Amino acid sequence: MSLDVGTHLKAVRQMYGLSQRELAKRAGVTNGLISLIEQNRVSPSVSSLKKVLDGIPMALADFFTLDLGGQPPVFFARQDLSDIGTGSVELRLVGSRLAKRSMTILHERYAPGADTGEEMLTHPGEEGGVIVKGKLEVTVGGESRTLGPGDAYYFKSSLPHRFRNVGREECEIVSASSPPSF
């Protein structure tokens, strides 16, 4: 997010077909304030911005998440999935690396004994996946479990987590995380 709150607000407001005064009335603020915000002459307080968005209505989270424009879809042959070499685990990204996405979908391959590293991972968002082949030890928030083909996991990524291939066979999974991690 560019922090260009003004331009963004203006686009959103016009998308809903509202004038500054109309929105101001619904939001319980002055039209002048909306003018100033849209020109980026002030950085609104969170409470004011919330009041304004309530007049639309739109949630704060949606406002900051909203992406205005662009569409690069498509298909990806297996050899077109970009490899993200992260140590002993092979990560193949589904989708364009450049395009703005709301998720990261990965086709992951763990060699026997491979793992995500010593320290536990923590980051915002959620992630989940399905084991396609082999055996994978999944540790989340202190709890461990070994999963096989067809088994799955889903958790908030803020919980410390770690993955390890405990089988002697290669392990293959498909995972997704939101917001995108790559």
Q: Which residues contact DNA (rule: CB under 7 A)?
A: 19-22, 28-33, 35-39, 41-45, 47-48
Which CB atom, from 27 or from 91, has the smaller least distance to DNA? Answer: 27
- 105, 146 contact by CB (below 8 A): no
Q: What are phi and psi of 180, to 5 degrees?
A: -55, 140
x/- map, 35-64, a second copy, by CB under 8 A: -------xxxxxxxxx-------xxxxx-x
Cα Rg, the chain, nearest whole Å: 22
| Residue span 95-134 as binding mask against a second copy, x where in contact by CB under 8 A, dash where not | xx----xxx-x-x--------------x-xxx-xxx-x--
Please report, for residues 4, 6, 12, 47, 115, the alpha-carbon distance to residue 63 in angstroms, rounded to integers and kept in the order given.
12, 12, 8, 14, 37
Contact partner at residue 30 from a second copy, DNA, none, CB < 5 to 8 Å by partner kind: DNA
φ, ψ of residue 118 to 5 degrees: the values are -60, -60
Interior CA angle at 177 toward 79 and 123, to 5°?
Answer: 125
Exactly one of 77, 85, 98, 119 binds a second copy (CB under 8 A); which one? Answer: 77
137 binds a second copy (CB under 8 A): no
Token reading at 54 = 């309530």
Q: How far is the CB of 19 from a second copy (least distance, A)?
A: 18
Q: Which is nearer to a second copy, 113 or 124 (CB)?
A: 124
Single residue of 41, 73, 118, 119 touching a second copy by CB under 8 A: 73
Residue 180: asked if its preceding bond is cis (omega within 30°), the reply is no
Distance, in Å, from the CA atom of 159 to the CA atom of 144, rounded to the nearest integer, reads 13
Tokens of 79: 């050899």
Binding site for a second copy (CB under 8 A): 1, 3, 5, 15, 42-50, 58-62, 64-67, 71, 73-78, 81, 94-96, 101-103, 105, 107, 122, 124-126, 128-130, 132, 138, 140-141, 143, 145, 147, 149-156, 158-159, 174, 176, 178-179
